[in-house]
Amino acid sequence: YVDVPSVVRSTIERIGYTRGKYGFDAATCGVITAIHEQSPDIAQGVNIALESRTTPDGKDALDHQGAGDQGMMFGYACRDTEELMPMPILLSHRLVHRMSQVRKGGTVPYLRPDGKSQVTVKYSKGKPEFITAVVVSSQHKDGIDIDSLMRPDLIDHVIKPVLPEGLYDPEFKKTKLYVNPTGKFVIGGPMGDTGVTGRKIIVDTYGGFGRHGGGAFSGKDPSKVDRSAAYAARYVAKNIVAAGLADRCEIQIAYAIGVAHPVSVMVDCFGTEQIDKTTIEELVRSHFDLRPAAIIRDLRLLRPIYEKTAAYGHFGREDADFTWESTDKAAALAEDAGLS
């Protein structure tokens, strides 16, 4: 039995909504529980995949679980950063994570939990050259002056500790800086908006680099390929780049509901591949099992790891629980490609 209201309230409390004047209070907010089991029509295809229904004598256990939905999922990796992530989204996530740290640590005590950021980077010949604009917005205590107090505080305690030296103008003339550009951000969180799950899907992935199949991640268990296959696609793309097979890589995987094997696996290296693209596709098929049960097994997705994915991005994180960020296949890929 899961005490859902207690889980919800403790999560809201950890986020920081603990007083009515913040617009939301973990102790007094209403919690309505309306959780239903999965449709049996869907479950019959997930629990017993088409492959197992049509070849009941099949002995491969990984053929038994079908994809939890149809659709296409994308993974992406590039050489912008050590994490093999596009620089703009990586810096954006670091900015909001830093804002949370200085708020919770009391360094900038008038900040409130809601916030967001955006980083614009100029590229030259496919590589980051200069940060041209930074947007930082944070919920704050009423009566705070943005220009005289909040802007210098965020520059000193959030922006300068995060942005790489030499890639931006610290005087913020050539680099444009916008701090709460509406002029006020007192009403935030659930009082000010309706949430982000299923609405802000690009912030959870690559910030506009690479494509997106449209499926949100949070709220879904790994039987839903919207989530697990997107993690697997990132795993594949990152290992291809880490192996030196390409400088940029996008993986597309497509599934049919209730079917274990992908209906399509495609690779796009945007002309940066070091070997023939057909060979890369063959290496992907030989080194990665992209059936849902295999993804869940190989990435160990049946663990309580998902709470920390709900903020600061699902990709590019240095955390052992983010198994899809491992580059453990890179050496074998490079060897089989003749690059090692």
Parse the chain into domains and list their residue ranges: 1-36, 71-81+210-336, 87-191
Do the domains spanning 71-81+210-336 and 87-191 agree at the CATH topology level?
yes
How deeply is 92 buried, as exposed, middle or buried, from its count of CB atoms within 10 A (0-12, 13-18, 19+)? buried
Q: For residues 248-268, give the mean pLDDT.
A: 97
Beta partners for 71?
A: 255
Token readout for 297 is 């097994």
Fold of 71-81+210-336: GMP Synthetase; Chain A, domain 3 (3.30.300)
Nearest Cα to 77, choosing from 291, 277, 270, 334? 270
Whether pTM > 0.85 for this model: the answer is yes
**What digits encode the pLDDT tens for the residues 45-90?**
999 999 988 886 767 889 999 999 999 999 999 999 999 999 999 9
Token readout for 293 is 């049960």
Fold of 87-191: GMP Synthetase; Chain A, domain 3 (3.30.300)
Token readout for 156 is 């000193």
Q: In whole angstroms, give the CA distance from residue 319 to residue 312.
A: 12
Token readout for 71 is 């659709």
Q: Are 24 and 194 in contact (CB under 8 A)?
A: no
**What digits encode the pLDDT tens for the residues 179-222?**
999 999 999 988 888 877 788 899 999 999 999 999 999 999 99
